[in-house]
Amino acid sequence: MGKKILVDLSHPFGDKCPLWPYFEDVKIERMHYHAKSGVLSQKVTTVMHCTTHADSPAHVIEGLPYTHEIPLDKYYGTGVIVDIPKKKWELITADDLENATPKIEKGDIVIVHTGWNKYWGDSQKYFLESPGLGREAGEWFVEKGVKCVGVDQQALDHPLHTAIGPHGPGPLRPDIFKDYEKEFGATVEETFTEWEPCHHQLMSNGIVGYENVGGDIAKVVGKRVKLMGFPIRWYMGDGSIIRLVAEIDEDEMNDVPDRVYKYGTS
């Protein structure tokens, strides 16, 4: 057995980091800097639902737990990084999850790797055209009894199940509907009838979630690992930017080059 290695599954956070379509830009100000005060102190204004982050149940369902109320063990434990390659706008099905390897077991933290993390950046491809989860996948996770679900795309739901599609304050991008109909032979309205059904299935059953998982995920795809990704202890918070980490034996890690971070590149 080799030594234990920590693998970063987080995208970086900072000025001009990629954002979901209707979020205001991250703003970072230096209140003090070395030439001015001899110290560096920065003020950050941000939504918490950007880069790699955790969703709390209160984010989507009134009356359910806020971030500070969620036990830490929801964010820590044995997990699997399952590889389910998907193309533009495809749904992840129950069969995909049932047949995934390593086998998903009760109590697992499950990270679904579709390969879409390589497109992370300020792009329509990443945020508008990703594959994703829906009601069927959400119901499967609930029946299986997992405790946390993460995805390597923009949200726990397919983008057309969100306000990007015809839901809630949307549609934010109705211009993409014709492209979907041309490609799949069905309308967005008849295919994606519910607003964030996977979010609701998970959160209403005590399953928390991670969005925009990425970083060095290629090193642990197809592996059973220990996972940890803690939110800040935000009172009445709806979610939190996190540092998601996998622990794996050095001898078991996939042999891939170290990732060099630059927004919009793999």
- pLDDT, one tens digit per residue, over 127-141 is 999 999 999 999 999
How far is it, in rounded angstroms, from Cα 30 to Cα 6? 31
- Please state whether the peptide bond connecting residue 171 to the residue before it is cis, i.e. omega within 30 degrees of 0: yes
Whether the predicted pLDDT of 144 surpasses 90: yes
Please report, for residues 51, 175, 190, 221, 244, the alpha-carbon distance to residue 214 in angstroms, rounded to integers and kept in the order given.
9, 28, 31, 11, 9
Mean pLDDT across 69-79: 97
Looking at residue 144, the DSSP 8-state letter turns out to be H
How far is it, in rounded angstroms, from Cα 83 to Cα 71? 28
* Residues 6+ positions from 178 with CB-CB distance below 8 Å: none
How far is it, in rounded angstroms, from Cα 165 to Cα 205? 25
How far is it, in rounded angstroms, from Cα 134 to Cα 54? 18
In DSSP terms, which residues pair with 27 in a beta bridge? 45
- pLDDT, one tens digit per residue, over 34-69 is 999 999 999 999 999 999 999 999 999 999 999 999
226, 195 contact by CB (below 8 A): no
Let me know if residue 65 belongs to a domain: yes
pLDDT category, 262, cuts 50, 70, 90?
low
Q: Residue 54: give its domain's CATH number.
A: 3.50.30.50
pLDDT category, 266, cuts 50, 70, 90?
very low
- pLDDT, one tens digit per residue, over 165-177 is 999 999 999 999 9
Let me know if residue 98 belongs to a domain: yes
Measured in residues, the chain has a length of 266
Structure tokens at 40: 């560096």
Provide the mean pLDDT of the chain: 96
Let me know if residue 157 belongs to a domain: yes
pTM for the predicted model, two decimal places: 0.95
Let me know if residue 26 belongs to a domain: no
* Residues 6+ positions from 113 with CB-CB distance below 8 Å: 81, 82, 83, 84, 152, 213, 217, 221
Confidence at residue 261, expressed as pLDDT on a 0 to 100 scale: 64
How far is it, in rounded angstroms, from Cα 168 to Cα 153? 20
Total structural domains within the chain: 1
pLDDT category, 258, cuts 50, 70, 90?
confident
What is the domain extent for residue 115? 4-11+48-252
Let me know if residue 22 belongs to a domain: no
Let me know if residue 87 belongs to a domain: yes
Backbone angles phi, psi at 210, to 5 degrees: -115, 140
Let me know if residue 128 belongs to a domain: yes
Let me know if residue 233 belongs to a domain: yes
Confidence at residue 265, expressed as pLDDT on a 0 to 100 scale: 52
Residue 154's nearest CA partner among 232, 246, 88 is 88
Residue 189's nearest CA partner among 174, 200, 204 is 174
